Amino acid sequence: MTKSTMSRKHTLLATALGACLALGTPAGFAGDLERGQALHDTFCIMCHSPELYGRTDRIANTYGEVLQQVTRWQNNARLRWTGYDIDSVTEYLAEKYYKVPR
């Protein structure tokens, strides 16, 4: 394989990866609301009571911001959740408390 051919393949691979990341989680891999609730009620509720989500000065106001906060706090708590777990908790919070569309 020539250097030029390898470069084209790397460019195509990088483009495909970028497109996948830009699209976000495919519909088939969306979070599971029941799993999200179970994870939230097991790991988050001790510090984040439901009243927290209804504050007028809340940080998260869009689905993306809810996702950022779920990712942030699971990292801070060193929970080592999978992407599916993060999506599940985000889906649960977005639907139940934040009322923001995906």
Token pair for 27: 């519909």
Q: Where are the domains of the chain?
A: 1-26, 31-98
Reported as a pLDDT band with limits 50, 70 and 90, residue 11 is very low
C-beta separation of 92 from 31 below 8 A: yes
Secondary structure string (H, E, C) spanning 14-66:
HHHHHHHHHHCCCHHHCCCHHHHHHHHHHHHCCCCCHHHHCCCCCCCCCHHHH
Residue pLDDT, tens place only, 19-63: 443 344 444 457 899 999 999 999 999 888 888 888 888 899 999
**What 3-state class would DSSP assign to 82?**
coil
Per residue in 56-92, pLDDT tens?
888 999 999 999 999 999 999 999 999 999 999 999 9
CB of 90 within 8 A of CB of 30?
no
Per-residue CA distances from 78 to 3, 27, 36, 44, 70 (Å) = 42, 27, 17, 12, 12
> Looking at residue 3, what is its pLDDT?
54
